[in-house]
Amino acid sequence: MIAAAIALAMAAPAAAQTQAVSPELVRPGPIRPATVESNWTPLRLPNGDRIGLLSLSYLMAVDEEWGFGPSVYGAAKGNYGGLFTMGFTGQRRWRLSSSTHLAAGLYAGAGGGVGSDKVRFGGGLMLRPELSLRMESGDWYSGLSLAHVRFPSGNISDTSLGLVLGRANNFVSFAPSDAGKPGRASQRTGLGFDEIALQGGFAYPRSGTRDRSGKPNTGRIVFAGADLRQYIADGSWWGVEAAGAAQGGVDGYMEVLATAGQDWALFGPKLRVGGQIGAGLAGGGNVDTGNGWLLRAGPTLRWISPWGATLRLDGGLSYAPDGQFSTRFVRLGLALPLDQTPSVSSSLEQQAGIVRTQQIFASYQHLPKVRFKDGSEDAIGQIAFVMTRELTPSLYGVAQAGSAATGKAGAYAFGLFGAGLQSPQLLGGARLGAELLAGVAGGGGVDVGSGALLQAEAYGQWEREHLRVRAGLGQWRTMRNGAQTAQIFNLSVGYAFGSLAR
């Protein structure tokens, strides 16, 4: 879901117009370093089981030594498929030589997975301090890490040696004050993806699919999700995607995959047929994915409209090689261009667009009272990653993904997307706004019915250059099957920058 949340927040208008190149076009500000980093962390659980956590982080530089950004961790070894946490990492680096550096980092996130009397995730908060030594080779680096994983309100705590692998790149952005102006950049701006898509579809478990108790699980699953793609050539792409169950009795099931594909023109350049493959982690919702790995493959069909939007239809097979989960699936998606024209690998230097403000928030959300499946009611606190992107000066896309961190709902996770309205900036750098979001949620014993969720919020925001501080009040509501409502209070701190909508 963590990718579902990121996708919609980056959405740009489908009909974004290419601007004529002129000397008045604004240019990006100073280029900041960034990195995509992955960690492998062995972990021994209190009952003696051994698992492995695989992570993915995107870290942006604050200055030459400090960086921060979102991270997600998932089980990739052992019989704990579906153990996910998501949150934020802060990192400090020291240069030791021209090809060596030392890094100290702290991850704070929330989530959980399959628990028992002996394995308890508590409220879901996870802390992971790390010290690592890395060797560099070009843009790539790798090394060894010493990390401690702890769920403070549970009983999971272990220290171990692990591995780290990363790749350095650039974070290119405009000043937020450039929003609405025509601009030009010779590199991809923002997070650097060319296209986002929102998707929905059906999965049909094959014979032999069973839940974790060994019972057959062959009911149809309705799911929703999103993906991000970067096109490396005409018709060739790589990307990330995420989805969660919205109906089918497996609320809490989620999957996060890396994908790659190729398609070719059919009867003309706008209709394209091809195929894609994917691999990643999945589980939750009592679905037996074993150690968590999921493989996917199938055909694709897409139509690029004259207005910039793209319709996609794809299907195929998903298979958990270490579990008892295999499905046929079909889904329909609507994709919008972000940075580069998705079907043409032309020079970015010759393209221009309008600068739009994008915001990234770390958010703590408090729900004073929610109902659990055992009939009890209790408060929970959530840590969420929130992103917004302007569509017009008053309208923007918004998405968030997160998990429970306090209370008794460890392993509860959610992904929401929608739209917001905002006022012009008022005196003192203040701004008012409101948002309406929909999505999926589940896990942790929270009674969310089928897994579908609505959330509405009004907020006030204080702004200073790149800094954003927001406080909001709203309502959280489950849909279908005994709907429940709860108030939600939100406090967020964020970073704003300008990106180019082509």
Q: What is the pLDDT of residue 443?
A: 84
Say if CB 328 and CB 315 are below 8 A apart: yes
- Rounded to a whole number of angstroms, the CA Rg of the chain reads 22
Same fold, 32-171 and 352-501: yes
Cβ burial 50-79 (10 Å sphere, 16+ → b, else e): ebbbbbbbbbbbeeeeebbbbbbbbbbbbb
Q: Which residues contact 48 (CB under 8 A, 6 or more apart)?
A: none
Q: How far apart are CA 339 and CA 263, in angstroms?
A: 20
Say if CB 40 and CB 51 are below 8 A apart: no
Q: How far apart are CA 331 and CA 342, in angstroms?
A: 20
Residue whose C-alpha is closest to residue 103's, from 68, 70, 54, 139: 68
Q: What is the pLDDT of residue 159?
A: 97
Rounded to 5°, the CA angle 216-50-414 comes to 60
Q: What is the pLDDT of residue 114?
A: 81
Give the domain ranges of the chain. Answer: 32-171, 195-337, 352-501
**Chain length of the chain:** 502
CATH number attached to the domain at 195-337: 2.40.160.20
- Mean pLDDT, each 10-residue run in order, the chain (502 residues): 45 42 75 93 95 94 88 93 93 95 96 86 94 96 97 94 95 90 85 85 92 87 88 90 83 90 92 96 91 96 89 96 95 80 46 85 94 91 91 89 89 89 92 93 84 92 94 90 86 92 72
Residue 497: CB atoms within 10 Å: 23
Q: Which residues contact 399 (CB under 8 A, 6 or more apart)?
A: 4, 5, 6, 7, 8, 9, 226, 386, 387, 388, 415, 416, 417, 418, 437
- Decide: helix, strand or coil at residue 24: coil
Q: How far apart are CA 267 and CA 286, in angstroms?
A: 45
Outline where DSSP puts E strands in 339-484.
Answer: 352-371, 377-390, 395-406, 413-422, 430-442, 452-464, 467-478
Task: Output DSSP code: residue 220.
Answer: -
Tokens 């150690």 appear where? 291
What are the DSSP calls for 289-358, one per residue? -TTSEEEEEEEEEEEE-TTS-EEEEEEEEEEETTTTEEEEEEEEEEEEE-SS-TT----GGG-EEEEEEE
Residue 121: CB atoms within 10 Å: 27
Task: Output DSSP code: residue 5.
Answer: H
Q: What is the pLDDT of residue 234?
A: 85
Cβ burial 243-278 (10 Å sphere, 16+ → b, else e): bbbbbbebbbbbbbbebebebeeeeeeeebebebeb
Residue whose C-alpha is closest to residue 8's, from 333, 399, 391: 399
Tokens 């667009």 appear where? 353
Query: CATH number of the domain at 352-501, out of 2.40.160.20, 3.40.630.30, 1.20.1260.10, 2.60.120.10?
Result: 2.40.160.20
Q: What is the pLDDT of residue 415?
A: 87
The yes or no reply on domain 32-171 and CATH 2.40.160.20 is: yes
Tell me the CA distances in angstroms from 254 to 82, 326, 462, 489, one per residue in order.
7, 14, 34, 25
**Encoded tokens for 398:** 């918004």
Say if CB 58 and CB 192 are below 8 A apart: no
Predicted TM-score (pTM) of the model is 0.88
